[in-house]
Structure 1
Amino acid sequence: MPFTLADFDYALPPELIAQAPLAQRSASRLLVVDGDRRSDSRFVDLPQWLRAGDLLVMNDSRVLHARLLGRKDSGGQVEVLVERLLDHNTVLAQVRASKSPQAGSRLRLEGELDVEVLGREGEFYRLRFADDAAELIERHGRLPLPPYIERQVEAPDELRYQTVYARERGSVAAPTAGLHFDQDMLAQLRERGVGIAYVTLHVGAGTFQPVRAGKLTEHRMHTERYVLPPATAEAIAATRAGGGRVVAVGTTSLRTLESAALDGGSKAPPENPAALDSPPGGPKNTGDGPACFLKVGAGETALFVTPGFEFKMADMLITNFHLPKSTLLMLVAAFSGMEEIRSAYRHAIAARYRFFSYGDAMLLHRRREQ
């Protein structure tokens, strides 16, 4: 029987929603899930769960100051949340106002930015800034903390709602699995022989949109841009050839890898199917693995992953705990197994783990029947 939205619901005590980061990035807890086995650990102990020859793939997207407040030229209040940069001075954005702004009207944002409304595209608006949109947004906008963080942005958020390796501007939400890494952790991993490679996926405002369709087949994801560099494809190929495991840091990295595999391309990352199909941490198989090719370079993805999806690229996934009925919860259930994730979430709630963006982390192994 096909899954419905109700299959991905759960009751979360509100006090478990983390409202602020811990004093140290790597001080969070880590729940390790490998089939029906669970281990309560700490993120600082992550290197012990990995081995030389493994590869971490991280999303280096940087969060924009994408939230801007202002008024329409008619005087009504307006809130703008940039979805994505389209070109030098044009963006796609959510616009909240008592009455929808019309094409040709202007918005006065943050008291000094004049923005023209070019038109509507579905639930988003195309807006044109007078100059470099990215620069103006960074200079005048506000950090867009998720709506479940019920407080105003504070000075520490400017650092803590970015990963330490963020460099490519374009997201309106942090790739939160990466928030747990600090420079000491990255150094420890390299010392242990764990490789690190990067992709870029700019997270859109649609990441906070609930799934409204009762039938999952009717839900449509928002399109997001990604880049998979040649060096990352080469690192994945080398990892496969050496028998290592590919560990996606965050659902955004995982979606990038799987989208690049589905899109195809000239690079063929895994030449070692035994490593691809081996149970993480267990003995290697000798059977044939799935053939897949990575598209190198830029692309766009609206990939919606639900249970039954055949993963080709990642053996393990580092991720935070996700909202009920969210596409991200569906993705992790597809990756590690529906019952395994249900059980893990029940355990996390009982053990008082911290949830969502500033919360604790999970290290998930790919389900073994794949």
Structure 2
Amino acid sequence: MKLADYSYDLPEFRIAKHPPEERGTSKLLIYNQGNIGHHNFGDISQELPKDATLVFNDTKVIPARIIMHRDTGARIEIFLLEPLRPSTSHEVIMTSEKTCTWKCMIGNARKWKENTTLSHPTLNFTATRTGKDEVTFHWEEFSFSELLEEIGKIPLPPYIHRDVEEEDKDRYQTVYSKMNGAVAAPTAGLHFTEKIISDLREKGVHTEYLTLHVSAGTFQPIKTDNITEHPMHNEQVWIQKETIEKLIASTQTIAVGTTSMRTLESLYWFGVRLEQGIEEFYIKQTDPYTFSAVDKRKALQNVLDFMNNKGINQLGGQTEIFLYPGYQFKICEGLITNYHMPNSTLILLIAAFIGDDWRKVYQEALDNDYKFLSYGDSSLLIPKSNN
């Protein structure tokens, strides 16, 4: 499978550099089993069937960019990637006090030697480079979450090409974000307002939440000609027992965003792993292409039984699931998503979901002046039954 087959021409002026003036006013392209229509996102409740289940990712973007300076004046940027100590759990490490260690991407790294410390000019806060991509922080007051609110910056995607502005603190965050840990927003959710969600519930659409902490790997370009050779990043996921019960009963499950979809499909494959007697919730990128499929409800019931046996109401795991053309989706019958970069893992997911019609959808969006990427317009995709 060649990467070049999943390219398209995306002019720079089609990339949204700012969100729309008002949340929820974006364009909405609806692809329904081959047919395409154009709508306003604010009217999405009128376009979804009653009794559908929308699944949202409630991760919250953390101010993951920390700017420090050496005594020489050299600017060092520390980008938080993954928590290491005292816990690898985002929820735990964000409440830590006094010290914590993260895997980081370091900008201007050659100017910052290992085992040397940088100090903040106004706060009692230091950063010590304890490894090639490892930084240990020390501070006196606050939780780490509160500290980041003071010194960190929201990490906008690299293709936006501008500095963070005040509006980004609010607009690069979903209205339902709750669980600290993402370094990129689950952007399909940025269109939803409290009113739109209320309209959906009034109609009888069910709303459920799970968590995938979006990592910087979401922007990682594919560098292999054969897409199956691309090494997929892994991300933390969390899902409640009650949500799994609702998924078993759901007649039509629609993922809000590719991160929700990847979590739901990972949950299915964890159920398959349990069928094989494997209790570790770590979905490898090859799992969907090596394990034999089982019935959707059987897989989800396996997970529910596992949680009941363990006496837990929340399930945590890791996934590096890679969904590309040829994959048969197990949980999701629909997807709400923005428009993605050419030659990316996300465009491969779209091509896997709606087949070759992804080109038709993207050309239609380009022809009708849709904005692309994180702050861009939206789509609702319902695949043909034979995809």
TM-score of the pair, normalised by structure 1: 0.86
Counterparts of residues 211-230 of structure 1 (less than 5 Å): 211-230=222-241
- Identity level (%): 39
> Could you tell me how far 1:150 is from its partner in structure 2?
2.3
Aligned counterpart, 1:305: 323
* 1:53 Cα deviation from its structure 2 partner: 1.1
Question: Aligned equivalents of 1:356 and 1:229: distance in 2?
Answer: 29
Instruction: Report how far residue 21 of structure 1 moved.
Output: 1.0
- State the 1:73 CA deviation: 6.8
Q: Which residue of 2 aligns with 1:94?
A: 105
Q: CA deviation at 1:267?
A: 10
Pair 1:201-2:232 in alignment:
no
Provide the residue aligned with 1:15 in structure 2.
13
SS in structure 1 of the partner of residue 164 of structure 2: coil
Q: Deviations over 1:265-285 (max 9, x none)?
A: 7999xxxxxxxxxxxxxxxxx
Q: Which residue of 1 aligns with 2:54?
A: 56
Q: Does 1:179 align with 2:190?
A: yes
The 5 A counterparts of 1:234-249 are 234-239=245-250, 244-249=251-256
Equivalent-residue separation in structure 1 for 2:168 and 2:118 (angstroms)? 27
Contact in 2 for aligned 1:36/1:340 (Cα 8 Å): yes
1:293 aligned onto 2:278: no
Residues 7-46 of structure 1: per-residue CA shift (max 9 Å, x gap): 1111112111111111221110111112321111111121
Give, as a single letter, the amino acid of the residue that structure 1 aligns with 2:210: V
2:308 counterpart residue number: none
Query: Which deviates more, 107-116 or 139-148?
Result: 107-116
Following TM superposition, by how much is the alpha carbon of 1:139 offset from its aligned partner in structure 2, in angstroms? 2.0
Whether contact under 8 Å (1:65, 1:137) holds in the other structure is yes
Structure 1 residue 72: Cα displacement: 4.8
Q: Distance in 1 between matches of 2:8 and 2:54?
A: 30
Separation in 1 of the partners of 2:383 and 2:122? 49
Structure 1 residue 127 displacement after superposition: 1.5
Q: Deviations over 1:240-265 (max 9, x none)?
A: xxxx2101000000000111111127
What's the counterpart of residue 342 of structure 1? 359
Shift of 1:169: 0.5
Q: Secondary structure at the match of 1:26?
A: coil
Code of the aligned partner of 1:252:
T
Structure 1 equivalent of residue 309 of structure 2: none
Matched, 1:231 2:242: yes
- The SS at the match of 2:299 is coil
SS of aligned partner of 1:99: helix
Q: Deviations over 1:56-82 (max 9, x none)?
A: 100000000111112357763221211
CA deviation after TM superposition for structure 1 residue 229, in Å: 0.9
User: Structure 1 residue 137: deviation in Å?
Assistant: 2.0
Gap change, CA 1:304 and 1:102, over 3 Å in 2: farther
On the 8 A contact 1:85/1:170 being kept in 2, the answer is no
Q: In the alignment, is the contact (CA less than 8 A) between 1:61 and 1:170 conserved in 2?
A: yes
- Code of the residue aligned with 1:253 in structure 2: it is S
Tell me the CA shift for residue 136 of structure 1. Answer: 2.2
RMSD: 2.2
**Greater shift after overlay, 153-162 or 247-256?**
153-162
Letter in 2 for 1:95: I
1:323 has 2:330 as partner: no
2:264 alignment counterpart: 257
Return 5+ residue gaps in structure 2 as ranges.
88-92, 94-99, 276-293, 304-313
Partner of 2:286: none
Structure 1's 302 and 267: CA in aligned 2 closer, same or farther, altered over 3 A?
closer
Task: Note if 1:363 corresponds to 2:380.
Answer: yes
Query: Would the aligned equivalents of 1:35 and 1:340 in 2 still touch at CA under 8 Å?
Result: no
Whether the 8 Å contact between 2:34 and 2:384 is mirrored in structure 1 is no
Is the contact between residue 17 and residue 356 of structure 1 (CA under 8 Å) also seen in structure 2? Answer: yes
- CA change 1:232–1:71 in 2 (3 A) is same
TM-score when scaled to structure 2?
0.83
Over residues 198-217 of structure 1, what are the superposed CA-to-partner deviations in whole Å (9 max), with x where a residue is unaligned? 00000111111211111112
For residue 237 of structure 1, report the CA deviation from its aligned partner: 1.5
Aligned to 1:145: 156
| Aligned residue in 2 for 1:130 | 138
Matched position secondary structure for 2:5: helix
Residues matched between the structures, number: 340
- Which amino acid is the alignment partner of residue 325 of structure 2? P
The change in CA–CA distance for 1:74 and 1:321 in structure 2 (over 3 A counts) is: same
Distance 1:266 1:208, change over 3 A: closer
* Helix, strand or coil at the partner of 1:129: strand
Point out the more displaced range, 148-157 or 190-199: 148-157
In the alignment, the residues of structure 2 paired with residue 73 and residue 265 of structure 1 have an alpha-carbon distance, to the nearest angstrom, of 55
Distance of aligned partners of 1:330 and 1:7 in 2 relative to their CA distance in 1, 3 Å threshold: same
